[in-house]
Structure 1
């Protein structure tokens, strides 16, 4: 009778499940706590029916943010359980002498691991469905999509863990390699940018996200999310009979859910590669750090590369940073530090592979290659052989341009803002061409580089001419989905600002153009949705309704058109002196195409001369004449020659602060703060040491974070989680 070849062994399958029951049993118990906690919370808060869409939204939220994190940890535990025999010589010898072919071992163990992954999810899912059914929230589409999503992500992470299991021969190396492969794109991106920003002029990004899809957990959490749509509806209170507006959930979809299917296919492919590795795997490789021969050089030189960049940067910071005169690396010390760091990684990997510390005589040629590689990489970045410093994207490759300058963000779209985009590209190219001038100035001053997006203005002397230092950021979102971002700390002078062709002149002409003043407001611009608006005054304030916000924005736009708002003076130190204590804040929700930011915000400081805005605020009864007191009138010591010494003298003489005195009497005593009468609006000498970082008349921050709630008489109340 001819024997049959089986690819599945039921006895081994049951043995795996019974042997490792604590693993999937404890996971199931932990998962069951979530629906139990949900049930207790619902009962505690009162019996309230859930709508099916609310249930779907909850399912998709867990699938988007919870399942990837849980699966990445649980998958490696299941893989370590079913493949543990590979890492012990006796165990692997015994398993390979059983009357089960390798095909049978592989398929049975894969199915065992996937089953152990599925059991906790099944227990948790069934209990959750029962709870939601109890409260009327059963939703079959959401359940089906969630089940498919969990299966797809489980397949991928277990496939990746299995692939790693056949590369290594040591059980401790399995989780290390698995963790590295899951985050290798993020780590590599960070390392490359960490090194490049020390050589490349204008590059200051620590992470670009170029190949983020190679880091599955990060990419899945970033890209997959529940997309909920709300509709404002009038409802009637059952008890009081009053009608009020509320936001009702009308649809929920899983944004970019197809990515799960793509990763599931990748997981199946990884299982296929793992089988190919298992077919050729030697039983004698049990205990080796790397079990695949051709992967050993990859391991050795990979460790050397990562150690050279991270270790080299650390050594440079410890040994040389305090000796360099500029912001950028000195080439020779950096090469030596990278060689030292690379040597540590190279020889550590060699010792692990050889299982002995006696590797120096046989591996010196490889170390020489590492040293030459470090020198070549530093030289290539120093002389910009990759074109990073010189890169200005072509107009047809860009789908959005963001400029941050003068304390505000400006968003430009091809097809609508082509002329402005070309001005930005010209400015960018001019800054690159003037690299030596900018770096030469900075090497002659004591100002440290500020690696943030805030506009930093400080008055400095330059042969009698007015001058300042300002940070700008230029970001291009490319059609490919990548972005090019550069940040520059520029030295501006009034003489160069009057000279055509200089970056000073081009920057001033761009930012102070009528078109860019309107761009700063972003009112009725495509891609922006006003989420929140509120008013701050000395005595009043609060949320603005959508009607009030619209009227105020129209008024600010008219002031901008008339030149009464938004004209930025680069050289004024006291540019908040003529501002009132009236601030209007607007928060905009951005579409995903705008650099994946959730929102952007602007702040309008009301100043003298903003007649349209002041008239609108008065008409809406949001301010009175009592609010129209400038900072120079209310806080004259901040702008006078005496400065804060006068403040202290005033307090000693009158036994109260100047603010308390002004609030009580409406003026200051004659002779104080540069005045002969009580009128504190008299001109006073400006103290040039006062440093103001932003123009109060227009300042914005795309990187602000927090929670926004927009409310008003004519609009619903919506809570928005802000994430930059």
Structure 2
């Protein structure tokens, strides 16, 4: 038997291996399927594939393959499985007392177990990478740096998660609770942030999309490593999918170094917890005394905060509440639910229902007071969340979305939007209650989205009502009308709704559908004209004349305008007729405001030189309608009808 002062015990190591080797084998098989076998299958008929014709090489294929092989997800799973099996004895009274009765120090037990978990996790990984390297040479795809950098990422991530798993094992005397704690610790920061954001989306002015701009941070490694550490392969193609450029980068090395240090620190803390852990804590919900109040307060506060916001939102859905009333309901609900959770948590920790004492009551009162302070801080916007408007120097672009999406990248336009946003927030007290103050006034909503230069986004959503209503106050109009004046400017509509090539383009396609009613069918039929008898040049000349009329209606404020009322969905004004056209400039790429606003720039990263535009016409679009008639798209004014007229004729009851 080795010395009680030794860090490692061979007999114990062999015993641990006898219980965990099957996990290592299964892990190795999974890695084989994900890496070498998957890549071999991909390359099976590579020489006859579309990739070769498009200019891809075997090396490029391997870089792309390694880019998408899972990293943190597999490490997260393997770490807790191996660690749980290795330290299983801590959760069974008989095994726990027996293991600690042997002449083996806790130091040996801990570090031998840690070494076992590490080797069972890392050996399959390294062997897999060796096989993958051989496969790469056989396939003539020598992207060896990508293979081994991926291996390094998974190795560091695995050690980090093993350290967290061991820490979790030391905090509880129950295996299931330890596993739950493991996942809580791995996602703790994100869980807390999500709780605050959900509450903010329920209660705070402009924050209904608070969850949409959630970013990963280093405090949530499961998300952060996948997003920021890996093989980043960039393929540039032309309009026909042909390869015109390739580059790659091995990202996140500095983060891996930080995580490696963090793994060492967490492992040391876990060892210290184990060193002083009492044997009788087996089967205890929480085995570490100082974590009991932390867990109690944390669970009570975050769950009750979200629950309180949910209660207020449910009541608000049934009957629209003022901002202050909604917050008051949320605060009262959160404190009541928090107190219930406080005592329920105490019952789980102490394994008894006898937790109602003067001491516990004082603790609960103290918790309630602290929770009240935090919730009041949210109500009073102490942290300036509702009023947050970024500095213009930090903004890459500003997006505005109401009836149409617009993205402003020009410095002057960014500055203008920021000032308009600040002016809007000056009337916040009235604006956050518009749905109550002006419940009978038609309304709408709009979104302002800031894409910052550091990659983060800030999104704010606001409910508004018709600025032209006689019921709204002068202060409300002063806060909202400047926004409408800016986005309804003809130049802004042309640049951002039609597109950046609006003044230098060819109209390659145009479609208009007139409708006439057929008494025998009791339905409308389309009178669409395709102009197939014309040459492409003649068509484009015809389309261009209609397009000029469209621009005239834009200048007259009749097309693509935004309203804070319900004009965009007004069945009495909007025409049932379909009208669309395609603009093209073969030299200037088209900038899609809609794609950038909604984040589609990555999904649609290819360069395009044309865009189809759908136009919602009204009877007020006299220039466009006259041009369409003159150019033969329709001949009879009866072919023009509104949604209301269509619904009424068809017998629908919502006209």
TM-score (ref. length: structure 2): 0.76
The structure that is strand-richer by fraction is: 1
Query: Could you tell me how far 1:105 is from its partner in structure 2?
Result: 2.5
Bigger drift between 318-327 and 481-490 goes to: 318-327
In structure 2, relative to structure 1, the CA distance for the partners of 1:251 and 1:335 (3 Å cut) is: closer
In structure 2, relative to structure 1, the CA distance for the partners of 1:504 and 1:354 (3 Å cut) is: closer
The structure that is helix-richer by fraction is: 2
Aligned with 2:352 (options 350, 356, 365): 356
- Correspondence 1:362-381 to 2 at 5 A: 362-381=359-378
Query: Could you tell me how far 1:299 is from its partner in structure 2?
Result: 0.9
Query: Could you tell me how far 1:178 is from its partner in structure 2?
Result: 0.9
Query: Could you tell me how far 1:443 is from its partner in structure 2?
Result: 1.0
| Equivalent-residue separation in structure 2 for 1:123 and 1:351 (angstroms) | 48
Aligned with 2:179 (options 175, 178, 187): 175
In structure 2, relative to structure 1, the CA distance for the partners of 1:534 and 1:626 (3 Å cut) is: closer
In structure 2, relative to structure 1, the CA distance for the partners of 1:127 and 1:488 (3 Å cut) is: same
Equivalence for 2:555: 563
Please say if residues 339 and 370 of structure 1, whose CA atoms lie closer than 8 Å, have aligned partners that are also in contact.
no
Bigger drift between 388-397 and 265-274 goes to: 388-397
Residue segments in structure 1 that go unaligned for 5+ positions in a row? 235-243, 448-459, 461-467, 526-532, 542-547, 615-622, 650-686, 691-724
- 1:646 matched to 2:649? The reply is yes
Aligned with 2:294 (options 293, 298, 301): 298
| Equivalent-residue separation in structure 2 for 1:295 and 1:434 (angstroms) | 45
| Equivalent-residue separation in structure 2 for 1:593 and 1:133 (angstroms) | 44
- 1:156 matched to 2:160? The reply is yes
| Equivalent-residue separation in structure 2 for 1:226 and 1:522 (angstroms) | 35
Equivalence for 1:442: 435
In structure 2, relative to structure 1, the CA distance for the partners of 1:627 and 1:209 (3 Å cut) is: farther
Equivalence for 2:225: 220
| Equivalent-residue separation in structure 1 for 2:109 and 2:351 (angstroms) | 29
Equivalence for 1:523: 500
SS at match of 1:503: helix
Equivalence for 1:71: 75
Query: Could you tell me how far 1:156 is from its partner in structure 2?
Result: 1.4
Bigger drift between 82-91 and 356-365 goes to: 82-91
Equivalence for 1:489: 463
Please say if residues 387 and 425 of structure 2, whose CA atoms lie closer than 8 Å, have aligned partners that are also in contact.
yes
Query: Could you tell me how far 1:482 is from its partner in structure 2?
Result: 4.6
In structure 2, relative to structure 1, the CA distance for the partners of 1:8 and 1:568 (3 Å cut) is: same
1:333-368 CA-partner distances (Å, limit 9, x unpaired): 323321232133212221122121211125222222
Query: Could you tell me how far 1:114 is from its partner in structure 2?
Result: 0.9
SS at match of 1:253: strand
- 1:339 matched to 2:313? The reply is no
- Correspondence 1:535-550 to 2 at 5 A: 537=511
| Equivalent-residue separation in structure 2 for 1:146 and 1:217 (angstroms) | 15
Please say if residues 581 and 629 of structure 1, whose CA atoms lie closer than 8 Å, have aligned partners that are also in contact.
no
Query: Could you tell me how far 1:322 is from its partner in structure 2?
Result: 2.6
Please say if residues 477 and 595 of structure 1, whose CA atoms lie closer than 8 Å, have aligned partners that are also in contact.
no
Please say if residues 434 and 464 of structure 2, whose CA atoms lie closer than 8 Å, have aligned partners that are also in contact.
no
Please say if residues 58 and 140 of structure 2, whose CA atoms lie closer than 8 Å, have aligned partners that are also in contact.
yes
- Correspondence 1:294-693 to 2 at 5 A: 294-316=290-312, 322-326=318-322, 330-361=326-357, 362-412=359-409, 416-417=410-411, 419-444=412-437, 469-478=443-452, 482-494=456-468, 502-513=478-489, 516-517=492-493, 518-520=495-497, 523=500, 537=511, 559=551, 563=555, 568=561, 570=563, 571=567, 573=570, 574=573, 580-582=579-581, 588=592, 598=602, 604-605=613-614, 628-629=633-634, 636-638=640-642, 642-647=645-650
Aligned with 1:52 (options 59, 66, 88): 59
Q: Root-mean-square deviation (CA), in Å?
A: 4.5
Please say if residues 93 and 283 of structure 1, whose CA atoms lie closer than 8 Å, have aligned partners that are also in contact.
yes
**Number of aligned residue pairs:** 588
Equivalence for 2:145: 141
TM-score (ref. length: structure 1): 0.69
Equivalence for 1:463: none
In structure 2, relative to structure 1, the CA distance for the partners of 1:624 and 1:512 (3 Å cut) is: closer
